[in-house]
Structure 1
Amino acid sequence: MATNHQGTMDNYLLRRPKNVAAWALKAKQRPLTVSNAPYTAPPKGHVAIQVIDVAINPIDWIMQESDLFGLQYPAIFGCDVAGEIIEVADDVRDLHAGQRVIAHCNGYSARDASHGAFQKCAIVPKNAVAELPYGIATSIGVVLPLGISTAAAGLYQKTFLELPFPSEQPEALGRTVLIWGGSSSVGSCAIQLAVASGAEVITTASSRNFDYCRKLGAAQCFDYHDKNVEDSIIAALKGKTVAGAYHAVGSEDATRACARILDQSQGKAIVVTVRGVPKGLPSSVRAKSISSSTIFSNEVGPYIWRTFLPRALQTGTIVPAPDPKIVGEELRSVQLGLDKQKAGVSAAKIVVSNISQAGYRHRPLQTTPAWH
Structure 2
Amino acid sequence: MSPRVIPSIIGVIVSLNAAAWLASPRADLVVRPADMPVPGRGEILIRNRALAVNPLEVKQGTGDLMYRWLSYPMILGEDVAGVVEAVGPDVTRFSAGDRVVAYAVGMERGRRHDAEGGFQLFTVVREDLASPLPESIGYTDAVVLPLAVSTAATALFQDDALALVPPTPGPAGTGTGTILVWGGSTSVGMNAIQLAVAAGYRVIATASARNAGFLRDLGASDVVDYRSPDVERDILAGLSGESLAGVVAIGPGSGAPAVRIAAAAGAKRVALLSPPVSFGSIPRRGRRSAAFIRTMSRVAIGQLAIQLRARAAGVRAGFVWGSTLMANEVGPMLWERYLPDALADGRHVCAPAAEVVGDGLESIQHALDRLHAGVSARKLVVTL
Query: TM above 0.5, one fold?
Result: yes
* Alpha-carbon distance in structure 2 between the residues aligned to 1:84 and 1:332: 21
Match of 1:128 in 2: 129
Deviation at residue 278 of structure 1 after TM alignment: 4.4
| Matched letter for residue 380 of structure 2 | I
Larger mean Cα displacement after TM superposition, 109-118 or 74-83: 109-118
Deviation at residue 21 of structure 1 after TM alignment: 0.7
Residue 179 (1) aligns with residue 178 (2): no
2:245 to 230, 243, 246: 243
Stretches (4+) displaced over 4 A: 13-16
Matches within 5 A, 1:197-346: 197-248=199-250, 250-251=251-252, 253-266=253-266, 268-275=267-274, 277-280=303-306, 281-282=309-310, 283=312, 284-346=314-376
Deviation at residue 27 of structure 1 after TM alignment: 2.6
Match of 1:163 in 2: 164
* Alpha-carbon distance in structure 1 between the residues aligned to 2:86 and 2:144: 23
Match of 1:88 in 2: 87
Give the secondary structure class of the aligned counterpart of 2:200.
Answer: coil
Give the TM-score taking structure 2 as reference length. 0.85
Match of 1:33 in 2: 30
Give the secondary structure class of the aligned counterpart of 2:254.
Answer: helix
CA offset digits 1:141-197 (Å, max 9, x no partner): 110000010001111111321122213322453310000011100001000000000
Larger mean Cα displacement after TM superposition, 90-99 or 279-288: 279-288
Matches within 5 A, 1:22-61: 22-30=20-28, 32-61=29-58
The answer as to whether partners of 2:363 and 2:382 remain within 8 angstroms in 1 is: yes
* % same residue: 38
* Alpha-carbon distance in structure 1 between the residues aligned to 2:112 and 2:90: 23
CA offset digits 1:245-291 (Å, max 9, x no partner): 0012x22x31110110111114x321101135542424221101001
CA 1:173/1:16 → structure 2, altered by over 3 Å: closer, same or farther?
same
| Matched letter for residue 22 of structure 2 | A
Give the secondary structure class of the aligned counterpart of 2:62.
Answer: helix
* Alpha-carbon distance in structure 2 between the residues aligned to 1:210 and 1:262: 22
The answer as to whether partners of 2:181 and 2:193 remain within 8 angstroms in 1 is: yes
Supply the RMSD in Å over aligned alpha carbons: 1.8
Give the secondary structure class of the aligned counterpart of 1:66.
Answer: coil
| Matched letter for residue 133 of structure 1 | P
Q: Count residues with an aligned counterpart.
A: 341
CA offset digits 1:323-370 (Å, max 9, x no partner): 0011111111000000111111111110011x1xxxxxxxxxxxxxxx
| Matched letter for residue 203 of structure 1 | A
* Alpha-carbon distance in structure 1 between the residues aligned to 2:329 and 2:14: 34
Deviation at residue 228 of structure 1 after TM alignment: 1.0
Deviation at residue 40 of structure 1 after TM alignment: 1.6
The answer as to whether partners of 2:167 and 2:174 remain within 8 angstroms in 1 is: no
* Alpha-carbon distance in structure 2 between the residues aligned to 1:138 and 1:148: 16
Structure 1: where are the runs of 5+ without partners?
1-9, 356-372
Give the TM-score taking structure 1 as reference length. 0.88
| Matched letter for residue 262 of structure 2 | L
